[in-house]
Amino acid sequence: MAEVRLDAVRKVYAGNVEAVKGVTFDVPDGHFCVLVGPSGCGKSTLLRMIAGLETVTAGIITIGGQVVNEIEPSERDIAMVFQNYALYPHMNVYNNLAYGLRNRRTPKDEIDQRVREAARILEIEQLLQRRPRELSGGQRQRVAMGRAIVRKPKAFLFDEPLSNLDAKLRVSMRVEIKKLQRSLGTTSIYVTHDQLEAMTLADMLVVMNAGNVEQIGLPLEVYEKPASAFVASFIGAPPMNLMKVDAAQAAAMIEGAAIGIPAGGAILGVRPEDLALSLDGSQPNGGFKLDLTVAAVERVGPETFVYGNVLDGADIIVRLPGQDAPATGARVTAVARREKLHRFTADGSRRLDG
Amino acid sequence: MVERKSIGNVIPHVILWIGIAIVAFPVYLAFIGSTHDAATIANGQMPPTPGPYFFENYYRTIFVGTSMTTREPIGTMIINSFVMAIGIAVGKISISIISAYAIVYFRFPFRMWFFWVIFVTLMLPVEVRIYPTYKVAADLNLLDTYAGLILPLIASATATLLFRQFFMTVPDELVEASRIDGAGPIRFFWDTLLPLSRTNIAALFVIMFIYGWTQYLWPLLITTRDDMQTLIIGIKKMIVTSDALTEWQVVMCTVMLAMLPPVFVVIAMQRLFVRGLIESEK
């Protein structure tokens, strides 16, 4: 139980490649922090620095009030779950769980008691004598989790732990990880590139891009008010529609009072789920409107995605409930309420409010 | 269908049996030779069936020695050969697994330089460096010692390279998990790397044991005393008897006995050896 603080943490690899460019945030005690971003954004490097597997080029990492920059991973009192589980192949499940405790010279009966307790929590008691290769992917995942919880560490670190599982198992393990973390109350930092995992697991979402933190917040806060065009396009599936506009174009799209567009233009964004189609050109909810030619329609059952082309070539996705959709080639008008519009600076780096 | 299948099975079997016969015939001949007396072999009419002198010949070979010369019985030679072969196999494996561990898992100055130096020694077997090696061994008073028989043959680029290749396939996450679990370099080596290398070690042991067992040139140079010579040298010395008849029945007994330990090693290690080839534990 501890909070994890990062203060201006940087990582520069040999050859002057800056993987992490000065990241500062605190994960309060007991919180579930998810680092999300595209591959190569530095999220795994950051996690490995917290674990002590990478050196810190600059900045300070604190776990439970103790600066850990120069401390060995084993002394940091953290546990890590790896993407490929990294179970010891020649040890049975029991020894895999017990190994870390034995290295810490924990008394034998305490090891036994802790291993059995962890096995009970994860429902792997009947697997204790098996070798990792005799286990299914989901079982290995549980053992990897067990190896983390048996240690009762200050923090759990997860490095894309679900990406080797099939889609169905991933959903159920996701729910279990969340339940487990809630009941144990251990501070957790979880790295993923899957925004669905990020949204569902996090108490605190950290969106990273190219070594920088783009936004930190509650998952829904990040969804409702993305701080930059990158976050807007990364969080949410399908991604937010973004259009580069100047004041005149914006005025043509939006009815009523003009919204503020700076001189250099801006990026206007609207989520596919906030758009509706108006077949007769009337605008039932007023505000934003955009004429489209339907280019493709995807029906996935509960909802339908309509891909439309605007005259100047931009692609717009509209998400409709149910299965009714216009035919390909039809001319339609997409409409949205004006409070559902997002505005960003022309370079996409900042959100414009008010 | 059934007939075609049985014909299809017969032909490979015939070929295999012919192959076995070609390999087994000289061994059989040696065995037959080891069960007759000297006169039967010397008159060139040795029958193709075992003779009545089996126990006598083997007893004499191991405990008495050839009669017309001053040569030792082969009992001590067997021990010498064992010490040398096991010493070389164990030594080579220990040295090379440690070198490979250093080269793969540690970053130290001139790491790649050391790697290439080890690599280059592939081109320098003992036959090439025989004079300097002998000189060094002689200066260190290693002539006629087990250390002299074993040490110069222990460095092994092949085994180092093999372990290096194997270590490089061990996932990095395993090292990292060990670090988080509080295992330092030595614990990681003992607790994880060594158990994972078990099948590789077994395979190498088989190869290196046979290599050590069949060494000829080096033991011939380094040993002068009869009580230090190895079995393979012993055979040679038994055949070349300048003023007496070669006692072929004793030679054949020695050959049979010399063949057994490698065969046992192969049989004993075969299970591990094959498992190392067919299953990966990673």
B174-207 tens-digit pLDDT: 999 999 998 889 999 999 999 989 888 988 888 8
Burial string for A73-97 (b: 16+ CB within 10 Å, else e) reads: bbebbbbbbbbbbbbbbbbbbbbbb
Of residues B7 and A346, more confidently modeled: A346
Q: How confident is the model at residue B57 (pLDDT cuts 50, 70, 90)?
A: confident
Interface test with A, best of B180, B191, B192, B194 (most A CBs within 10 A): B180
- Chain A, nearest residue to B194 by Cα: A90
Least trusted range by pLDDT, from A191-205, A302-316, B161-175, B267-281: B267-281
pLDDT at B279 over 70: no
Preferred mutation among A63, A90, A164 to probe B, highest tally of B CBs within 10 A: A90
Find, among A226, A234, A254, A238, the residue nearest to A343 by Cα. Answer: A226
Q: Which residues contact A264 (CB under 8 A, 6 or more apart)?
A: A345, A346
State the smallest CA–CA distance between residue A132 and chain B in angstroms.
Answer: 9
Q: How far apart are CA B161 and CA B115, in angstroms?
A: 9
A253, A303 contact by CB (below 8 A): no
Query: d(Cα B241, Cα B260) in Å, to the nearest integer?
Result: 25
Confidence of residue B20 (pLDDT cuts 50, 70, 90): very high
The whole-angstrom separation of Cα A338 and Cα B276 is 67
- Is pLDDT of A219 > 90? yes
Residue of B nearest to A131 (CA): B281
Instruction: Give the pLDDT confidence score for residue A280 in this predicted structure.
Output: 64
Domain spans, chain A = 4-233, 239-352
Mean pLDDT for A325-330 is: 84
Shortest CA gap A50–chain B (Å): 12
Residues of B in contact with A51 (CB under 8 A): 176, 180
The strand order across the sheet containing A204-209 reads A78-81, A155-159, A187-192, A32-36, A204-209, A212-217
Are A80 and B171 inside 8 Å of each other by CB? no
Looking at residue A9, its pLDDT comes to 92
Handedness of CA B225, B227, B230, B236 (dihedral sign): positive
Whether residue B180 and residue A79 make contact (CB cut-off 8 A), yes or no, is yes
Find the closest chain B residue to A52 by CA distance.
B180
Cα of A169 to nearest chain B Cα, Å: 23
- Tens digit of pLDDT for each residue in A15-46? 888 899 999 999 999 999 999 999 889 999 99
For B139-151, how does the pLDDT look when each residue is reduced to its tens digit (9 = 90+)?
Answer: 999 888 999 999 9
DSSP H/E element including A199? helix A195-201
User: Sign of dihedral through CA atoms A99, A102, A107, A108?
Assistant: positive
Which helix (H) or strand (E) segment is B85 a member of? helix B74-105
Residue A226, SS3?
A: coil
CB contact under 8 A, A72 and B179: yes
Is the per-residue pLDDT at A281 higher than 80?
A: no
Q: What is the pLDDT of residue A291?
A: 84
DSSP 8-class letter at B193: I
* Cβ distance of A103 and B176 shorter than 8 Å: no
pLDDT at B70: 53
Q: Is the pLDDT reported for residue B167 higher than 90? A: yes
Distance from CA of A278 to the nearest CA of B (A): 54
Task: Please determine, for residue B257, whether its predicted confidence score (pLDDT) is greater than 60.
Answer: yes
Model pLDDT, residue B71: 64
For residue B35, pLDDT over 70 is answered with: yes
pLDDT at A64 over 70: yes
Q: Does domain A4-233 have CATH number 3.40.50.300?
A: yes
Given a cut of 50, is residue A296 above it in pLDDT? Answer: yes
Question: Across residues A48-73, what is the average pLDDT?
Answer: 92
Given this model, what pLDDT does residue A15 score? 86
Closest Cα in chain B to A82: B173
Chain B residues whose C-beta is within 8 A of a chain A C-beta are: 171, 173-174, 176-177, 179-183, 187, 191-192, 195-196, 198, 281-282
**Top-confidence residue, A195 or A47:** A47
Contact A74 B191 (CB under 8 A): no
Residues A130-144: tens digit of each pLDDT: 999 889 888 999 999
Q: Tell me the pLDDT tens digit for each residue of B197-251.
A: 988 898 888 889 999 999 888 888 888 887 888 888 888 888 876 666 778 888 8
Look over chain B and give the mean of its residue pLDDT values, rounded to a whole number: 85
Check whether B2 has a pLDDT greater than 60. Answer: no
> Which one-letter DSSP state was computed for residue A238?
S
Asked whether the beta carbons of B259 and B27 are under 8 A apart, the reply is yes
A238 cis-preceded (ω within 30 degrees of 0): yes
Q: Domains in chain B, ordered, with CATH? A: 79-231+264-278 (1.10.3720.10)
Q: B237 or A12: whose pLDDT is higher?
A: A12
SS3 A124: coil
Tell me whether A115 touches chain B (CB under 8 Å): no
Helix, strand, coil % over all residues of chain B, rounded to 5: 75, 0, 25
**Closest chain A residue to B192 measured between Cα atoms?**
A88
What DSSP assignment string belongs to B104-121?
Answer: HH---TTHHHHHHHHHHG
Average of pLDDT values for B70-83?
81
CATH of A239-352, one of 3.90.1170.50, 1.20.120.790, 2.40.50.140, 2.60.40.10: 2.40.50.140
Q: Coil, helix or strand for A293?
A: strand
- Reply yes or no on whether the pLDDT at A283 is more than 70: no
Of the partner residues B179, B183, B196, the one whose CB lies closest to the CB of residue A90: B196
What's the pLDDT band for B1 if we cut at 50, 70, 90? very low
Report pLDDT for B4: 58
